[in-house]
Amino acid sequence: MNRWLLPEDIADVLPAEARKVETLRRAILDLYQSYGYELVAPPILEFLDSLLTGTGSDLNLQTFKLVDQLSGRTLGLRADMTPQVARIDAHLLNREGVTRLCYAGSIAHARTPVGSSAREELQIGAEIYGCATWEADFEAISLLLKTLSVAQLSKVYLDLSHAGVLEGILDGQVTAKSDIEALYTLLQSKDRSRLAIWAQRLPAKSADALMALTELNGPCAQVLANAKKTLPKHKLIDEALAHLEMLVLATAAFSGDVELSIDLADLRGYQYHSGVMFAAYVDQLPQPIARGGRYDHVGQAFGRSRPATGFSMDLLTLASLAPLAQRKPAIVAPWIDDALLTSKIGELRLAGEVVIQVMAGDPVESAEYLCDRELVKQASSWEVKKK
């Protein structure tokens, strides 16, 4: 057995790419700080019941489980940081006003997600707590678009949906949690034949509305107009469509590089969304580069109801799509005991230069640095010369 082999769909991040990931991480977190977001770092392990509070069964299936040797309780290795950040807002910060939090950390999936080739991700995201209005959702969307702009991904396709539409259709119907999870799967796959069978348990008006959701997708104005004609009149549905309309107008005015669409059957995620939902796509990737939306019920599940909205993405995937950064120029210096040389190297490094010391005759092998200069002794001083 090769001891250096890694588990399936787990990989190392090698030089140059790792530097690009870290550079992006710093730039993105600085962007979030400029909006007033505070950085948090939840633990990678938690008690399982806390880690899965307020979430659906799909997150449970993606979570690695192990037994805590100290308490005997089951621990979970996080597969999503959003519930953890909601717990921090609800129980540790315990603020009354609007709170903006951001994060960047590793997550692991027990199963490789559909469309992905990795079970480990470096999740980065931002969340807004304490604001129930559409303005918070728009800030999350606009910040997501700016995040993709930092990675120089200019052409973005943003797909919108709203959990309130389905909630309005099912209002008053007693439906088991397992049945709702099956319904989500059918809507996501737009399996109309099986969806029609599932909908037989509902009144005809609700069943027809469910079937209509599978065809309510495409350009925003067209979908909204058709939804208003096709879907039943209901407060939750009307509010959801109005919410989407405001977001479409605001986002279109914010960025001319984003192509907007609506898919009212797109309810993917971890089944904790309670309002607007959005997914961002780019040309280089078949699956969404980022997902987000409103999830007010997660805080409620922690015992403190707080409006919440935000988004997250995999920074490793983002970095792989970002244009390759040029290799950083570096200076080669001899690896010898010389006080003047040591002093000169210190000055150069303080000035922001990369100085790599090597033994005489040794080559510099690096994917990250371009050694285009060298330190050469002239008389009693060391000078930087082009190679």
pTM: 0.89
What pLDDT was estimated at residue 184?
84
Please give the Cα distance from 166 to 154 (Å, whole number).
32
Q: In 48-108, where do the E strands start and end?
A: 64-67, 74-77, 99-108
What number does CATH give the domain 17-321?
A: 3.30.930.10
What pLDDT was estimated at residue 44?
95
Annotated binding site: 80-82, 123, 127, 268
Closest by CA position to 84, among listed 268, 272, 346, 235: 272
Element (H, E) at 344: helix 339-350
Helices 235-254, 220-230: axis angle to 10 degrees equals: 170
Residue extents of the structural domains in the chain: 17-321, 328-386
Please give the Cα distance from 145 to 141 (Å, whole number).
6
- In tens digits, the chain (387 residues) has pLDDT values of 677 789 898 999 999 899 999 999 999 999 999 999 999 999 999 999 888 876 767 788 899 999 999 999 999 999 999 989 998 998 888 898 999 999 999 999 999 887 788 999 999 999 999 999 999 999 999 999 999 999 999 789 999 999 999 999 998 886 777 788 788 888 888 899 999 999 998 999 999 999 999 999 999 999 999 999 999 999 999 999 999 999 999 999 998 889 999 999 987 655 677 899 999 999 989 899 999 999 887 777 777 778 999 999 999 999 999 987 788 999 999 999 999 999 999 999 999 999 999 998 899 999 899 999 999 999 989 999 998
Annotated binding site for L-histidine: 80-82, 123, 127, 268
- Separation of first and last alpha carbons in the chain: 45
Please give the Cα distance from 152 to 162 (Å, whole number).
28
What pLDDT was estimated at residue 235?
95
Q: How far is CA 332 from CA 224, 232, 346, in A?
A: 62, 72, 13
What pLDDT was estimated at residue 357?
97
Element (H, E) at 319: helix 315-321
What pLDDT was estimated at residue 77?
95
What pLDDT was estimated at residue 253?
94
